[in-house]
Structure 1
Amino acid sequence: MRIEDYIIFENDDMVAINKPSGLLTLPDRHNAELSSLSGLLKKKYNEIFIVHRLDKDTSGLIIFAKHAASHKYLSKLFESREVSKFYLGIVNGILPNEKGSIKESLMEHPVQAGKMVVNSKGKTSHTDYQVKETFDLYSLVEMQIHTGRMHQIRVHMKWLGHPVAVDALYGNGKPIFLSNIKKKFKLGKYVEEERPLLGRLALHSYRLEFNGYDGQIYSLEAPLPKDMNAVLQQLRKQVR
């Protein structure tokens, strides 16, 4: 991939990327450095500093610092919750309330590594949500997270009874097909198997608001990726 195609904004202090789903923020022990976003950025800039992370399957806006002073400043902003973080997600079902606030503490699963659970003994976690559009089987929801726990949105939406679509860890993980949406769907004459409209976690980091290292106020946005847009376009056609 050409990392230049995913740059939303950059200046002397930072670079903002619209991360594609499926790409690690950092390399892990199973993947080479150039299979991660930080590795690709190091190749371009020689030196890059990680400020925060996104899950591998979550797409959207993520910021990296270009020098140590900016890294220290931006990291402190995130740690002190002075960054407004907004996500868009397609979730299963129709929520009973158009907006709400979830303040359920989260902790690591006692048995299953890499999974989180709601537990009163866990760390305080806070997610606000607002329904943007509703359809028969799905809803488009904006979420603002005030804490940055691992898998926070995914666990909170599961707790609400409306997990993020195509979430294999906290939901049923089933891809979204056009046949799920279109009432009179017919497979093409020469098509043997239907391909999914969306085969990955339907969660996107779309806006960050903060005061930059240079004193400027930033409101950065990453447009929804094609796969999530394709699902929404088909859902909207069915309610016309």
Structure 2
Amino acid sequence: MKTTEFSPEIEIIYEDEDIVVLNKPAGVLTIPDRFSRAIPNLYDILSEKYGKIFVVHRLDKETSGVICFAKNEEAHANLSEKFEEHDVNKVYLALITGHLRNKEGRIDLPLSENEKVPGTMKVDYENGKRSITEYRVLEEFENYSLVEVRPLTGRMHQIRVHFKAIGHPLAIDSVYGGREEIFLSEIKKKYKVKENETERPLMNRLTLHALKLGFFHFRKKEYVEFEAKLPKDFESLIRQLRKHSKVET
């Protein structure tokens, strides 16, 4: 499948008459901000290019990776139903804190909106909706683990809240983990910042990337799957962890 670009930062992974699949950069909204339309968002960018565009699902502003939009009402209705029925294969990469006792597992904890902190979610055994996240540890580092994550349901902030709930929040998550950035000096022993220089973080946004998205294409009559390569900041962080903080198993 040919990759094209219509913006220096926003890569089109695939498109046909029904859908357009992008590799969303971190920091870009999926839909317009309620209070300021001037903030860059994929919906406005795509609407300018295609005329009419339909939102199928969303990624958090600071999450990078694969996201799909529909180009017509038929595709929108079909894909919306698939997402509603959880008939979509979603795979994420997450860098979390610490080491999980079980290297493969399932987190099954109900979630609901947190009334005390608008715009966030919480584990709620009484009124929460069932939420399921499967995971598999790919690599372990001194203080972190790289995990393949498959959310079987699609609640807001599901991955972030689930890993926080089991004591392993994302390595960077200012809302659910309290951490905003990671520096090389934390990873590389004996690393020294040059005099009169301020160290720049290796990464300063959510350590979460939507890696793959797959579903049955209603017009092609076949299963299709799309993959979004890791952005440079995430790739650089993993590379430094492998070099200076790898845990041998």
Instruction: Evaluate the alpha carbon distance shift between residue 4 and residue 216 of structure 1 in structure 2; reply closer, same or farther with a 3 A threshold.
Output: farther
Taking the aligned partners of 1:87 and 1:178, their CA distance within structure 2 comes to 24
Instruction: Evaluate the alpha carbon distance shift between residue 119 and residue 24 of structure 1 in structure 2; reply closer, same or farther with a 3 A threshold.
Output: same
| 2:125 corresponds to | 120
| 1:107 corresponds to | 112
Structure 2 regions of 5+ residues with no counterpart?
Answer: 1-5
TM norm structure 2 = 0.92
- 1:67 aligned to 51, 69, 72, which one? 72
- 2:31 aligned to 13, 16, 26, which one? 26
**Whose helix fraction is larger, Structure 1's or Structure 2's?**
1
Instruction: Evaluate the alpha carbon distance shift between residue 12 and residue 196 of structure 1 in structure 2; reply closer, same or farther with a 3 A threshold.
Output: same
Taking the aligned partners of 1:204 and 1:54, their CA distance within structure 2 comes to 9
Taking the aligned partners of 1:237 and 1:66, their CA distance within structure 2 comes to 43
Contact 1:210–1:218 (Cα < 8 Å) also in 2: yes
Taking the aligned partners of 2:232 and 2:78, their CA distance within structure 1 comes to 33
| 2:44 corresponds to | 39
Runs of 4+ more than 3 Å apart: none
Taking the aligned partners of 2:131 and 2:73, their CA distance within structure 1 comes to 29
Q: Deviations over 1:188-210 (max 9, x none)?
A: 35x51000000001101110111
Superposed CA RMSD in Å reads 1.5
| 1:226 corresponds to | 232
Taking the aligned partners of 1:43 and 1:106, their CA distance within structure 2 comes to 36
Q: Deviations over 1:131-155 (max 9, x none)?
A: 0000001110011001100100000
Identity among equivalent pairs (%): 48
Taking the aligned partners of 1:3 and 1:224, their CA distance within structure 2 comes to 16
Taking the aligned partners of 1:119 and 1:68, their CA distance within structure 2 comes to 35
Shift, 1:3, TM fit = 6.6
Structure 1 regions of 5+ residues with no counterpart?
Answer: none
- 2:179 aligned to 170, 173, 183, which one? 173
Q: Deviations over 1:85-132 (max 9, x none)?
A: 111011111111111100000011131111111111200000001100
Contact 1:13–1:213 (Cα < 8 Å) also in 2: no
Q: Superposition pairs for residues 1-240 of structure 1, below 5 Å?
A: 2=7, 5-32=10-37, 35-121=40-126, 122-189=128-195, 192-214=197-219, 215-238=221-244, 239=246
Taking the aligned partners of 2:202 and 2:9, their CA distance within structure 1 comes to 26
Work out the number of aligned pairs and report it: 239
Contact 2:10–2:25 (Cα < 8 Å) also in 1: no
Contact 1:3–1:41 (Cα < 8 Å) also in 2: no
TM norm structure 1 = 0.95
Taking the aligned partners of 1:160 and 1:7, their CA distance within structure 2 comes to 35
